[in-house]
Amino acid sequence: MNHQGFRVVITGKGGVGKTTITSLLSHLFTARGYSVLAVDEDPQMNLPYAIGVTPKEGESIIPLSKNLDYVEEKTGARPYSGYGLMFSLNPDVSDVVERFGVKGPDGVNILVMGTVQKAATGCLCPENSLLDAVIRHINLREGEVILMDTQAGVEHFGRALAKGFNQAVLVADPTFNAIEVVKHSAILARELDIPDIHLVINRVRSPGDITKVNGMLAEYEDLFSGKHYIPYDEMMLLYDPDVRPLLEEESEFVDGVRELLISLEMHGLMRG
């Protein structure tokens, strides 16, 4: 069965905590017995290090886009006309990991998308759609989860949604600009019929922050399947970039992400 329930994209303004939350979710889902494919769509490639890949190991990661360049070199053809060149039409998560991914610590599977070279025409579309197609056609089985960390910005989110994600996590901190991005993303997600939109307000320092955010989002309440608040946590800086030590501590940050996981799991199972 192609299990649609657990294709989760994490988005939001720059620096709000997308990568940290994605990597914690990856570890928490894995610890719960899921097989996780964590996809890094940000050309900055921060996600592997947050999951706990060492800088040395990170050097040898070949992004998917580079692999496509390699296919072009070998075959003389840019494979966007037929990505069947690379693998079967509906690859399993394990195929994708084996051919293009890396095994991260604690069994988290990681796929780095990389940057797309601008074609002579100036259009990024065909290459982008190839990367999109790879993700969209991954055959998801029961017990498998795709979590995709994105580059900041609403356009990237739009493209991510085109890949068939059915749950979106919109992350903001309690600032006007971050909430504006959430509003735009929520409207876009709704227009594209994404069934479940989860709101995360990160870096909360006081009850006043929550009141402020709720005020700004008053007219958007109906768009969200759930709302989660994550406190500002001094410990974060201590362990940067690897999130794993946080899992060993009493951390309100981790508690907040755990709550988010339960919500994602519940909605994912409902969509089966």
Task: Enumerate binding residues for ligand ATP (CB under 6 A).
Answer: 12, 14-20, 42, 46, 152, 202-203, 230, 232-233, 236, 240, 253
Site string for Mg ion, 139-178 (x = CB under 5 A): ----------------------------------------
Does the CA dihedral 217-222-224-225 come out positive or negative? Answer: positive
Among Mg ion, ligand ATP, none, residue 20 binds (CB under 5-8 Å by kind): ligand ATP
Q: Is the peptide bond before 105 cis (omega within 30 degrees of 0)?
A: no
**Burial of 154 (C-beta count, 10 Å sphere; 0-12/13-18/19+):** middle
Kindly state the smallest distance separating residue 47's Cβ from Mg ion, in Å: 7
Kindly state the smallest distance separating residue 122's Cβ from Mg ion, in Å: 27
Nearer to Mg ion, 19 or 251 (CB): 19
Among Mg ion, ligand ATP, none, residue 232 binds (CB under 5-8 Å by kind): ligand ATP
Nearer to Mg ion, 18 or 163 (CB): 18
Q: Spell out the alpha helix ranges (H) of the chain.
A: 18-31, 47-51, 55-59, 64-75, 93-100, 125-136, 154-161, 176-191, 207-216, 235-239, 244-248, 252-271
In this structure, are strands 7-12 and 35-40 parallel, antiparallel, or unpaired?
A: unpaired
Nearer to Mg ion, 26 or 130 (CB): 26
Nearer to ligand ATP, 40 or 144 (CB): 40
37 near 96, Cβ under 8 Å?
Answer: yes
Among Mg ion, ligand ATP, none, residue 114 binds (CB under 5-8 Å by kind): none
Q: How far apart are CA 113 and CA 64, in angstroms?
A: 5
Q: By CB under 5 A, tell whether 19 contacts Mg ion.
A: yes
Nearer to ligand ATP, 167 or 202 (CB): 202
Q: How far apart are CA 163 and CA 136, in angstroms?
A: 5
